[in-house]
Amino acid sequence: MADADLTFTIGPDQAGTRLDAYLASQIEGWSRARLQRLIENEDVLVKGKVAKPSYKLREGDEIEVELVAPATEVFTPENIPLDIVYEDETLVVVNKPAGLVVHPAAGTPSGTLANALAYHFQKLPGATSVRPGIVHRLDRDTSGLLVVAKTETALENLSDQFRDRTVYKSYVALVHGRVLSSSGKIDQPLARDRSNRTRMAVVRGGRNALTLYRVRRAFDRFTLLDVELKTGRTHQIRVHLTWMKHPVVGDETYGGGRDNTIRDPRLRARIRSLNRHFLHAEKLGFKHPMTEEFVKFESSLPPELEDLLTQIDADS
């Protein structure tokens, strides 16, 4: 089963059933314990709101589940080059380029980071599955740091750290407009956009989501931000910054056509030629699964993003 968003509507026969028990009866290949973790991670909504595994269902309840594929689906390892930032016997940190999907899903059956990992590290936990050693994701057009577990123990340890929100994740984002506050936070719940299921949106009763930001540099018509994720919701930074009326430059999904309003035709063409949005996972920190020492890694901005900043600076 690939990544999916499932929706269930409760009929009279299911009323009174526990939420976790109901999902276990409906979703093949998922244990009740794993589904409980999914619910506790707020990846399950009942009537648009988070709920507990013990919630007793009522007739008419609509359940939304953001389901990440379990490591059971076999696929083909591929010899795709990897930019390895750090590696030891326990884990590897890679620098993902923009355009590379993390793991196979509908419409992208191959050519992913997971295919590359399975080729280069045959002994990863689940090396022949769609998620070999993978504990977190980046959007296709977001570049930057990802940690991959090389052992089952490391996979469980790192997964727990991400679940407990103790992992440090800092991004660089270039946004439209001048952000007036030097720093701030966006604490707005996120859920699937009911009018477009491929998008996320700020939705009352959705999964809690917290983003911190700080201005790194201000330009005439843009702002370069340091953005720290305190939660890890799908498209969180992009949706939160759009909600703040400062969409990420180059974001065709959430930018609302803002790139098209740039008056300078050379700059407008340069942004279009990126074929990506200006979002880079610059810093990643966590406790090493073996030593328990907090380790931190950093990735420089890709050349195409640095070049864009140089052009914007020259025009300011």
Catalytic residues: 139
Token pair belonging to 146: 């990802």
Dump pLDDT digits (tens) for 122-162: 777 765 555 678 889 999 999 999 999 999 899 889 988 99
pLDDT at 72 > cutoff 60: no
pLDDT at 217: 97
Which of these, 2, 70, 85, lies nearest to 38 by C-alpha position? Answer: 70
Position 310 scores a pLDDT of 95
Residue 73 has pLDDT above 70, yes or no: no
Tokens of 301: 């901005």
**Residue 68 confidence (pLDDT) above 70:** no
Instruction: Output the pLDDT for position 140.
Output: 94
Task: Read off the pLDDT band of 110 (50, 70, 90).
Answer: confident
Whole-number mean pLDDT of the chain? 89
Of 106, 10, 99, whose CA–CA distance to 59 is shortest? Answer: 10
- How many CB atoms are closer than 10 A to CB 157? 20
Tell whether the model's pLDDT for residue 42 goes beyond 50: yes
Q: Find out whether 135 and 158 touch, Cβ atoms under 8 Å.
A: yes
Q: How many CA atoms lie less than 13 Å away from 293 in the CB half-sphere?
A: 4
Q: How many CA atoms lie within 13 A of 46 on its CB side?
A: 20
| Residues constituting the chain | 316
Q: What integer pLDDT is reported at residue 83 of this predicted model?
A: 97
Tens of pLDDT, residue by residue over 271-303, are 999 999 999 999 999 999 999 999 999 999 999
Q: DSSP states of 165-234 as a string?
A: T-SEEEEEEEEES---SSEEEEE--EEEETTEEEEEEE-TTSB--EEEEEEEEE-SSEEEEEEEESS--T
Mean pLDDT in residue range 85-92:
96
Residue 253, C-beta contacts closer than 8 angstroms, at least 6 positions apart: 198, 199, 235, 238
Tokens of 307: 């070049």
Domains in the chain (CATH in brackets) are: 4-67 (3.10.290.10), 84-160 (3.30.2350.10), 169-283+296-315 (3.30.2350.10)
pLDDT bin (cut points 50, 70, 90) of residue 166 is: very high
Percent of the chain whose predicted confidence (pLDDT) is above 70: 93
Average pLDDT value for residue range 58-70: 80
CA–centroid distance for 198 within its chain: 14
Tell me the longest C-alpha to C-alpha distance in the chain. Answer: 66
Is 109 a residue whose pLDDT tops 80?
A: no
Local structure of residue 55 (DSSP, 8 states): P
For residue 126, the model assigns a pLDDT of: 60
Burial class of residue 293 (count of CB atoms within 10 Å of its CB; 0-12, 13-18, 19+): exposed
Quick: pLDDT tens for 89-106: 999 999 999 999 998 766
Contact 93, 297 (CB under 8 A): yes
Question: What per-residue confidence (pLDDT) applies to 128?
Answer: 54
Distance CA 222, CA 309 (A): 10
Tens of pLDDT, residues 171-226: 999 999 999 999 999 999 988 787 776 788 998 878 889 999 999 999 999 999 99
